[in-house]
Amino acid sequence: MTGQVAEKSGATIPFATVFIEKTNLSMISDENGNFTFKNVPSGKHTLKISAIGFSTLKKAIEVSGNPVNVSIHLESELNELESVTVMGRTATDKVNKQAYSVTAIDAKKLHNTTLDLSHALDRVSGVRVREQGGVGSQSELSINGFSGNQIKVFIDGMPMENFGSSFQLNNIPINLADRVEVYKGVVPIWLGGDALGGAVNIVTNTKPRTYFDASYSFGSFNTHKTAINAGYTAKSGFTTEINVFQNYSDNNYWVNVEASRFKNG
């Protein structure tokens, strides 16, 4: 028995599976869709033909003493997907899934706003930033009641202890960070700190790129905030970046204080 598998348009279908039911006879058609069976028992049989992208077909045939030639035509079968959903995690989500007690803030969503890092951290549960005065004043970070030397602050894993008093969380613009990681209690060993109460790691964008970003804001009490971030990457791979920020305020707000009266003697 010989035959050929083709589409209704006449184009041949290569490598289709041809099977004679209730027998052990099966084969794959060649690149032209042709197939040949030898020693097929006489009688009535059912051919089952299938191919990728086409509907499976069953065809009844009868074999006698003479050779049999069979012509098979398959119908195209298209299965279209209504939608494809790709699930993934951002770098911030991956940090939040760690075994540590950690909260990560996606700082990119807050870029080009008047917020600084301290105000962004103040939104995290268990974290409080207390300022002694107005813009530029000394601030104190508290995580779950721990403060002072019990809390360490890092930028890309580098400790900020030696940066000086001018480089505080309430002076750093939010545009400098890609995300901010707040570790409560146990601190990862890769940070290398001896903090007992927790740590804050400010993660910046370290990918080589050419960019320029600038923002300026003006507010009450003659407050001015300026932030400039720029970077250049040459074809040779040479990379340079600059981050400049400036905060100024007269801080000339009124404070009502009751005067104390002291009695002599």
Pairwise CA distance, residues 19 & 37, whole Å: 10
Contact 228, 245 (CB under 8 A): yes
Q: Output the pLDDT for position 30.
A: 92
Overall average pLDDT of the 93-120 stretch: 84
Nearest to 117 by CA among 203, 197, 192, 185: 203
Domain assignments of the chain as residue spans, ordered by start:
2-74, 96-248
Overall average pLDDT of the 183-199 stretch: 82
Instruction: Give the pLDDT confidence of 53-103 residue by residue, as tens digits.
Output: 888 899 898 888 788 888 889 988 777 677 888 888 888 888 888 878 888
Q: Output the pLDDT for position 182.
A: 92
Q: What is the DSSP letter of 108?
A: G
Pairwise CA distance, residues 250 & 221, whole Å: 6
Contact 2, 34 (CB under 8 A): yes
Pairwise CA distance, residues 180 & 200, whole Å: 7
CATH class of the domain at 2-74: mainly beta
CATH superfamily of 96-248: TonB-dependent receptor, plug domain (2.170.130.10)
Element (H, E) at 153: strand 151-155
Quote the distance between the C-alpha of residue 152 and its chain's center: 27
